Amino acid sequence: MNPKAAFLSAGGTFVDLVHRIDGNWDGPGLDRWTLRELVGHTNRALVTVVEYLAESGKSAGPAELTSAARYYLITRNQPDSDESIYQRGVSAGVELGPDPYATVQHTQAAARDAVLAAKGDPVLPTRFGGIPLSAYLHTRTFELVAHSYDIAHATGLEVSFVPAARRDAEDTAIAINEMTGWTRDF
């Protein structure tokens, strides 16, 4: 499965999972995050694709980040990265509004349309440097899969990804581990 297809499949699975959440949005999610904040953070995997693709033709420079693992290495080495990630998740939870499912459904549709409209492999202007869309999509599939499992754990719901999307996330986790020593179990 190519990076676009894996990302689109993982996004659809995430939206389906959110659709099945029956309340308790202020209950436990992951670490300090509530369920709403965890879903908001996970939704950012879709949001940033839309935002970065919209900017790719305007402000992207060279691809300094050539792989998903390199992207994670740079992000993890930022000062206060854990606190920044936490705060963005809190804000993203608020941005879900009164109907989180409708919000993630809308965001997933916008991400799908943006990815399908993308020509070639444009360089995306992330806050950490330029990265090719194909490499960035591996990071987003990883986030969607990993955090959908976190959401499933927090809610007691089942989640299942197509094997190729799960494998894409696992391959990204292996590459991250090889570069950074950081691990993630699925």
**pLDDT above 70: residue 142:** yes
Which is nearest to 157 in space by CA: 3, 4, 23? Answer: 23
What's the token pair of residue 77?
């080495």
CATH assignment of the domain containing 61:
1.20.120.450
- Residues spanned by the domain of 73: 3-180
What's the token pair of residue 135?
């490499």
Q: Are 111 and 46 in contact (CB under 8 A)?
A: yes
Q: What is the pLDDT of residues 8-55, one digit of tens each?
A: 999 999 999 999 999 899 999 999 999 999 999 999 999 999 999 999
Alpha helices in 64-132 (DSSP H): 68-76, 81-95, 100-117
For residues 30 and 157, give the distance between their C-alpha atoms in angstroms, rounded to a whole number: 15
Provide the pLDDT for residue 149: 98
Asked if the structure places residue 78 within a domain, the reply is: yes
Lowest mean pLDDT among 66-75, 87-96, 118-127: 66-75
Tell me the average pLDDT of the chain. Answer: 92
Handedness of CA 21, 23, 28, 29 (dihedral sign): positive
Asked if the structure places residue 186 within a domain, the reply is: no
The tally of domains found in the chain comes to 1
